[in-house]
Amino acid sequence: MKKQLFLIGAILVLVGEIIALIVFALQTPDFSQDAVAVNEVVQSVTQDFNSIDDHQNPTALDYAVLDNDGNILYKTKSGLSESVNAAITHRDTVLDITLDGTIVGKVIIYNDGAQTLQSQKQTAIIVLSVAIAVQCALCIGYAAYTHFTMIRPFRKLKGFAERVAGGNLDIPLEMDRRNLFGAFTESFDIMRSELKKARLAEAQANASKKELVAKLSHDIKTPVASIKAVSEVGLAVTGNGKDKANYTQIIGKADQINTLVTNLFTATLEELQQLTVTPANIESKQVKAMLENADYLHRATIPDIPECLVFADGLRLQQVFDNIFANSYKYAKTEIIVNAEKADNNIRITIEDFGGGVPQDELPVLKEKFKRGSNSANTEGAGLGLYISDYFMKEMHGELNIENGTHGLKVTVTLRLSGNI
């Protein structure tokens, strides 16, 4: 409120000064002279006319004395009017000098009213102009101060609120305690930070749930397939009608569970790209331990990995190896050859079985969603293991390559060495 009154008062003063300047500039000048001083000059000149060279000016007025022929007999200073015509033009006072009733000359009294008025005008204009300039500068400065301390911070707060409302919680609000909104700025940014933490926690929780559902959906299929296989064997060897009915019911329920799990996995698969992959530096001996964990049927001899640090997510890399070995167990059912070498700033781990591989034209699609080789017709599976593994490897800046090797399908897992990303 006080600042508003200041602005109103400053504007009113400014308007008043402008009006005063206009009035003063347009006023009519007064050229009248002091009559007493004029009479004193006339009397003094009359008395000293015959000895005009000894005349002394008794007043502050400037004047010149002329004879009847227009000759200059006396003047108080140079630059005065030296003829009656010039005096009239300059609005000087022209009076006759009379001795014994006879006009013997004239006195021209210099009128400095116009010069004085012009000087006053110039002084007034300069003073008022400086005052107006100062007030304008003050108003501009105050406007700038208001803009930087109130308007701009408020606009920042408005834009910040719009970004937060739109879900953008990554850009912090710059804090400036010099403006009136400094404390609010800090509070707003704390609010943004807490909202971001809450959203991240919510996103992580949702991602964990989806990942768990996807992983369980994929892994449940293996025991269900085993139950179905055992039930099919039991159905084939039993001769008891009641047992046959029980086995048939078990097989039907296993198929039903498999269908439901497939539907659940398919529903969550659309959001698998949200699975968190956090690569870090891990030792190569940990990679060997992951290969050994994946080969739980001990069908491979795991070699030593060249000592180094690789850039990978341990959890996701373990899932990649699990999927590769699970596919070999499921489709090839043979021994497995594992090799590891260090080359071109990478560690390449090849895993090859003795299953004969797949047709050459099927290799490019094995890493696609729901794609399986023609040799999997009678084997349970969703065609997602290699798709997920390929996604994980790309997120770790590595590669997953599939090709037909000398003996069977060969999968190459390429890991980047730390410091070469």
**Domain spanning 277-421: CATH 1.20.1250.20:** no
Pick from 33, 63, 67: nearest CA to 50: 67
- b/e 388-397 (16+ beta carbons within 10 angstroms → b): bbbbbbebbe
Asked if 382 and 325 touch (Cβ cutoff 8 Å), the reply is no
Residue whose structure tokens are 């000059």: 41
Task: Give the pLDDT confidence score for residue 100 in this predicted structure.
Answer: 83
Identify any residues that bridge with 411 across adjacent strands, giving them in sequence order. 351, 402
Pick from 349, 341, 318: nearest CA to 411: 349
For residue 323, give both structure tokens: 């999927």
For helices 113-146 and 2-26, the axis angle rounded to 10 degrees is 160
- b/e 88-116 (16+ beta carbons within 10 angstroms → b): eeeebbebebeeeeeeebbbbbbbeeeee
Pick from 418, 327, 415, 417: nearest CA to 376: 327
pTM of the predicted protein model:
0.41
Q: Hey, is 60 helix, strand or coil?
A: coil
For residue 235, give both structure tokens: 């159905």
Q: Report DSSP letters for 341-361, one per residue.
A: EEETTEEEEEEEESS----GG
Each residue's pLDDT, cut to its tens digit, for the chain (421 residues) gives 556 666 676 677 677 777 766 766 666 655 566 788 888 888 888 888 888 888 888 888 888 888 888 888 888 888 777 788 887 777 788 888 888 888 888 888 887 766 666 777 777 778 777 777 877 887 787 788 777 777 776 676 666 666 666 666 666 666 565 655 565 666 667 777 777 778 777 777 776 776 667 667 767 777 787 788 888 888 888 888 888 888 887 887 888 787 777 766 666 655 555 567 889 999 999 999 999 888 888 899 999 999 999 999 988 898 899 889 988 888 888 999 999 999 888 999 999 999 888 888 888 888 887 666 666 656 665 667 788 889 899 999 999 999 999 899 999 999 999 877 6
Burial of 338 (0-12, 13-18, 19+ CB in 10 A): buried
Rounded to whole angstroms, how far apart are CA atoms 313 and 280? Answer: 6
Angle at 396 between CA 291 and CA 409, to 5 degrees: 50
Angle at 202 between CA 201 and CA 207, to 5 degrees: 100
Angle at 72 between CA 70 and CA 75, to 5 degrees: 140
φ, ψ for residue 388, nearest 5 deg: -65, -40
Rounded to whole angstroms, how far apart are CA atoms 390 and 320? Answer: 8
The domain segmentation of the chain, as residue ranges, is 1-31+111-168, 35-110, 277-421
Identify any residues that bridge with 99 across adjacent strands, giving them in sequence order. 102
For residue 174, give both structure tokens: 């710059």
Identify any residues that bridge with 105 across adjacent strands, giving them in sequence order. 67, 97
Task: Give the pLDDT confidence score for residue 221 in this predicted structure.
Answer: 73
As a three-state string, the secondary structure of 292-309 is HHHCCCCCECCCCCCCCE
Rounded to whole angstroms, how far apart are CA atoms 3 and 359? Answer: 84
